[in-house]
Amino acid sequence: MDQNIKKAESSWIRTEGVSDGIERALVYVQDNYQSTISVQEVARHSSLSYHHLCRKFKKETGRTVVELINWLRISKAKDLLHSSPDPIHEIAKKVGFTSTVQFHRTFKKLEGDTPMQYRKKIFGES
């Protein structure tokens, strides 16, 4: 598993001792969160039915598949907002969002600020 999930392991998502199917789901999401993926795709790649994946993933990790996808995308977006001069709509695309509006909503929900507010705070702008 990649360091992004490992980094969050102790405080945000449980990854220790998960079943093989959930491990496959975690790896698939980690490898593909920057593209358009669905929970159905994750289920197929983890050899579980959609409903079984949803129940088992939540039970074993404490989070939903969609929460993990969004967390990974926003974590990467935060890195890019800090290190890249790219416009916000480009960053949204790079991290897997097909809609800038959805990116803004998800970012604000998880971080409490819009991407622009976050970027301004990083660089000490008012």
- Other beta carbons within 10 angstroms of residue 80's beta carbon come to 19
Which domains, ranges and CATH numbers included, belong to the chain?
3-65 (1.10.10), 69-122 (1.10.10.60)
Contact in structure between 50 and 40 (CB atoms under 8 Å): yes
Residue pLDDT, tens place only, 71-125: 999 999 999 999 999 999 999 999 999 999 999 999 999 999 999 999 999 888 7
Contact in structure between 25 and 48 (CB atoms under 8 Å): yes
Amino acid, single-letter form, for residue 46: S
> Exposed, middle or buried: residue 111 (CB in 10 Å: 0-12, 13-18, 19+)?
middle
